[in-house]
């Protein structure tokens, strides 16, 4: 992903409002006198502000690149007869679960209000799932089938992937790479070059292979749990999910695990944050419809 960044059009300054840290929001609610019954958002996960590095790359450009890359991926899947049709039971299931999680995304990123969310199933033995910037979600059939995921576990993965998109981890990685590779001086000399077409293509190509930092991974775990709990999915599933992942990684490491190391630390972090999200789950309306594993 590194070489491509030299071509990124670094001119535009992101105009998205800076996301307030969750604790500020909570503080405001409490200050407003919500005391007896704590408002829903007074609990949950606090991960603080977003990395300043993300500002080096415009959100619009990252989202446009993702849309293009996602469209390309769907086209290829369709050509190979590997795109789950709208009436496929697992497509219906994934979209129902997404419908319950997406409403809680604006809270984490106001841009999400204008995202055109999409959820698709790709026929592939790989254990993989992702949500690209702008809300483009895909699950590979392999992860549903091999891990025999129940709805709560699917919601944890989906929440985790959505969290990467909401916290703009891809944008942050691109910004970091831009900062280290080309430095501030060269960055400013690129201003005005405006080679946007090539830049978008290059950025889009990176989005499927991005490896996030350990910090981003644990942030995505926590924000994902929060979103899934509000959607009515049991956060304990985060533990069972990663145990399944650990068991699956005993063989040849599947793709998802190469970017998402499963281990005791991860599970311990999830467990230690359980008290913050369980109240959200207990209060949330639960899904009326439950789906069978693939
Ligand atoms: Zn992740």
H or E segment and range at residue 129: strand 129-132
Interval 98-142: pLDDT, tens: 999 999 999 999 999 999 999 999 999 989 999 999 999 999 999
Q: Would you name the residues annotated as active-site residues?
A: 161
Greater pLDDT, 146 or 254: 146
Q: Would you place residue 30 in the very low, low, confident or very high pLDDT band (cuts 50, 70, 90)?
A: very low
Q: Indicate if the pLDDT at residue 176 is higher than 90.
A: no
Q: How much distance in Å is there from the Cα of 166 to the middle of ligand 1?
A: 12
What number is the average pLDDT over the span 150-174? Answer: 94
Q: How much distance in Å is there from the Cα of 171 to the middle of ligand 1?
A: 14
- Residue 132 near residue 170 (C-beta atoms within 8 A): yes
Q: Which domain holds residue 251?
A: 57-277
H or E segment and range at residue 289: none
Question: Is residue 289 a part of any domain in this protein?
Answer: no
Question: Is residue 1 a part of any domain in this protein?
Answer: no
- pLDDT number for residue 180: 62
Cα-Cα-Cα-Cα dihedral sign, residues 95, 100, 105, 110: positive
Question: Is residue 20 a part of any domain in this protein?
Answer: no
Residue-averaged pLDDT of the chain: 79
Interval 195-250: pLDDT, tens: 444 444 455 566 766 788 888 999 999 999 999 999 999 999 999 999 999 888 77
Interval 57-104: pLDDT, tens: 888 988 998 999 999 999 999 999 999 999 999 999 999 999 999 999
pTM listed for this prediction: 0.79
Question: Is residue 14 a part of any domain in this protein?
Answer: no
103 closest CA partner among 135, 140, 127: 135
- When divided into structural domains, the chain yields a total of 1
Question: Is residue 7 a part of any domain in this protein?
Answer: no
Question: Is residue 45 a part of any domain in this protein?
Answer: no
Question: Is residue 44 a part of any domain in this protein?
Answer: no
Residues with CB under 5 A from ligand 1 (ion): 217, 220
Question: Is residue 88 a part of any domain in this protein?
Answer: yes
């Amino acid at each position: 992903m590194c070489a491509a960044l030299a071509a990124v059009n670094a001119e535009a300054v992101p105009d998205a409002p800076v996301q307030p840290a969750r604790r500020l929001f909570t503080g405001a609610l409490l200050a407003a006198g919500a005391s007896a019954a704590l408002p829903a958002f007074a609990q949950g996960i606090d991960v603080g502000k977003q990395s300043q590095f993300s500002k080096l790359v415009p959100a619009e450009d990252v989202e446009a690149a993702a849309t293009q890359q996602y469209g390309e991926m769907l086209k290829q899947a369709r050509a190979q007869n590997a795109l789950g049709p709208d009436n496929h039971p697992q497509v219906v299931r994934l979209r129902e679960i997404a419908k319950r999680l997406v409403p809680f995304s604006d809270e984490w990123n106001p841009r999400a209000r204008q995202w055109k969310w999409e959820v698709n199933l790709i026929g592939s033995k790989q254990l993989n799932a992702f949500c690209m910037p702008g809300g483009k979600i895909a699950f590979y059939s392999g992860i549903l089938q091999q891990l025999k995921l129940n709805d709560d576990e699917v919601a944890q993965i989906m929440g985790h992937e959505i969290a990467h998109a909401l916290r703009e981890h891809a944008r942050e990685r691109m910004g970091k790479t831009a900062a280290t590779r080309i430095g501030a001086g060269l960055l400013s000399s690129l201003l005005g070059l405006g080679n946007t077409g090539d830049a978008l293509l290059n950025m889009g190509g990176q989005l499927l292979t991005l490896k996030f930092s350990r910090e981003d991974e644990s942030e995505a775990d926590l924000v994902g749990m929060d979103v899934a709990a509000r959607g009515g999915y049991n956060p304990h599933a985060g533990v069972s999910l990663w145990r399944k992942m650990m068991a699956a990684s005993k063989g040849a490491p599947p793709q998802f695990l190469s970017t998402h190391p499963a281990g005791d630390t991860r599970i311990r972090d999830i467990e230690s944050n359980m008290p913050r999200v369980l109240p959200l789950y207990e209060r949330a309306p639960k899904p009326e419809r439950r789906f069978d594993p693939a």
